[in-house]
Amino acid sequence: MNKIVLLTGFEPFGGESLNPSWEAARRLDGVELAGARVHARQLPCEFGAALAALRWELDALRPTLAVAVGQAGGRAELSLERVAINIDDARIPDNAGRQPIDRPIVAGGPAAYFSTLPIKAQTAALRRAGIPAAVSQSAGTFVCNHVFYGLMHALAGGPARGGFIHIPYLPEQAAAHPGAPSMSLDTISAGLTLALETALTATTDIAETGGTTH
């Protein structure tokens, strides 16, 4: 076995006591999938520091596949992100108290990067397994998009593929957010496992509707 998957999640932020992205990612640490071993790493929820930690892991592990995972409270499914944009525009401060507004992530960098994951094949596989999933057209402008863009910038021109997956609240978090949807940790973990397996085994993506009208 010589393939490595880097799977990242975030520390808690915004007053939460946990972050489901890390709770799910760390469950997969050391798991072997389709001839690859998963290495789970936690990133700080901080602009700049998150990318520094990510770049260190990319240099140390040299993964074949790198997938970042983040919490998206209010979403009801696993969201396979299509595009990362070159902008930080924080609605709330990060965990270091920073709140950049309309600031490029990489000065002079491309306006956007597309995921190199087979996001439609992953979405289809998740739905067949009964796990709610959808292609998402926006990863926001907070630290999740910051990491997604930084990941794709770091991988650009190289052989490794990468992308970003947003996940819902856990049920214990949703209790503090009336009306917010949630998903069990078991379901999220199973979904991430299937998404990684599909990324490792799919040779091409599928042509299937994943767009929106708004």
Catalytic residue among 81, 153, 208, 214: 81
**Integer Cα distance of 81 and 148 in angstroms:** 9
DSSP characters over 12-63: --TT-S--HHHHHHHHTTT-EETTEEEEEEEE-SSTTHHHHHHHHHHHHH--
| Each residue's pLDDT tens digit, 98-129 | 999 999 999 999 999 999 999 999 999 999 99
- pLDDT tens-digit map of 171-188: 999 889 999 999 999 999
Distance of alpha carbon 196 from alpha carbon 85, whole angstroms: 23
CATH for 3-201? 3.40.630.20
Out of 39, 146, 153, 166, pick the active-site residue: 166
Confidence (pLDDT) at 210: 76
* pLDDT value at residue 38: 98
Mean pLDDT of the chain: 96
pTM summary value:
0.96
Catalytic annotation on 45? no
Asked whether residue 214 carries a pLDDT value surpassing 50, the answer given is no
The structural domains of the chain, with segments of one domain joined by +, span: 3-201
Q: Is 166 a catalytic residue?
A: yes
List the structure tokens of 30: 């050391």
Statement: residue 1 has pLDDT above 90 = no
Catalytic residue of the set 39, 144, 146, 153: 144
Q: What is the mean pLDDT of residues 36-53?
A: 98
CA dihedral 120, 121, 122, 123 (to 10 degrees): 50
Q: If you average pLDDT over residues 10-26, what whole number do you get?
A: 96
- When pLDDT is averaged across residues 3-28 and rounded to a whole number, the result is 97
Query: Quick one: what percent of the chain has pLDDT higher than 70?
Result: 98
For 141-167, what is each residue's pLDDT tens digit?
A: 999 999 999 999 999 999 999 999 999
Least confident residue range of 8-12, 34-38, 43-47, 201-205 = 201-205
pLDDT at 62 over 50: yes
